Amino acid sequence: MKKIFIAIAVSLAVISCKQEAKEVKTEAEVTDASQYESFGAEISPEGAISSEEMLKKYDEMAVGDSVQIAFKGKVNSVCQAKGCWMKLDLGQPEKESFVKFKDYKFFVPMDAAQADAVIKGWAYKSETSVDELKHYAKDAGKSDEEIAAITAPKTEYTFMADGVLLKKKG
């Protein structure tokens, strides 16, 4: 009986070590900066929280609140006029962060939709006017009917990025 207990304990210890090693490897893969193309200020993927964690932070904010942070997510869409903004998925349907670039000093490729991204800067909750929403809809290539349907301001999860990392294709 004692030998069986020791065998089980040793087996559990070995399994635990293997799982920890696997988790460490996964984290190292996520934070490998060579996998990314950089835009704006030089940033690192290390320490970036998930899009789901970022959504929780946004939900806790009031309009006007802000926090300096880095998070990672999938790019849903990009400005089709020149790449001057993008929207990152926050892990729930119709929840995304509207990302602009600090001082309008850099842009991202217009074909960056569906890329994995890491952004660092200031997250805040804001209210966007009807005129501004219509401008962004036009930049996104929306139809005249879709633009005309915008009739009310919108509370949004916004982000002013100092730097952006986009995962390299291939």
CA distances from 166 to 22, 25, 31, 76 (A): 24, 21, 12, 13
Cα distance between residue 49 and residue 129, in whole Å: 29
Confidence check: pLDDT of 86 > 90: yes
User: Residue type at 148?
Assistant: A
Please compute the mean of the pLDDT values over residues 36-58 and round it to a whole number: 96
Percentage of residues of the chain with pLDDT beyond 90: 72
Q: Which of 8-17, 102-111, 148-157, 160-169 has the lowest mean pLDDT?
A: 8-17
What six digits make up the tokens of 147? Answer: 């633009």
In this predicted model, which residue has the larger pLDDT, 56 or 136?
56
Say which CATH class 36-167 falls into: mainly beta
pLDDT at 31: 56
Across residues 119-135, what is the average pLDDT?
A: 95
108 Cβ contact list (under 8 Å, min separation 6): 39, 75, 78, 83, 86, 101, 164, 166
pLDDT band at 20 (very low <50, low <70, confident <90, very high): very low
Q: What is the pTM of this model?
A: 0.72
Q: Kindly list the distances between the CA atom of residue 161 and the CA atoms of 70, 93, 107, 150, in Å, as whole numbers in the listed order.
A: 9, 23, 11, 26
Nearest to 42 by CA among 165, 159, 169: 165
Q: Which of 117, 112, 130, 113 is nearest to 159 (CA)?
A: 117
Task: Report the C-alpha dihedral over residues 132, 136, 138, 141, rounded to 10 degrees.
Answer: -170
Domain edges within the chain: 1-30, 36-167
Q: Which of 34, 23, 37, 27 is nearest to 117 (CA)?
A: 37
pLDDT of 169 reads 81
Q: In sequence order, which residues have a C-beta less than 8 Å from that of residue 93 and are 6 or more positions away?
A: none
pLDDT band for position 73 (cuts 50, 70, 90)? very high
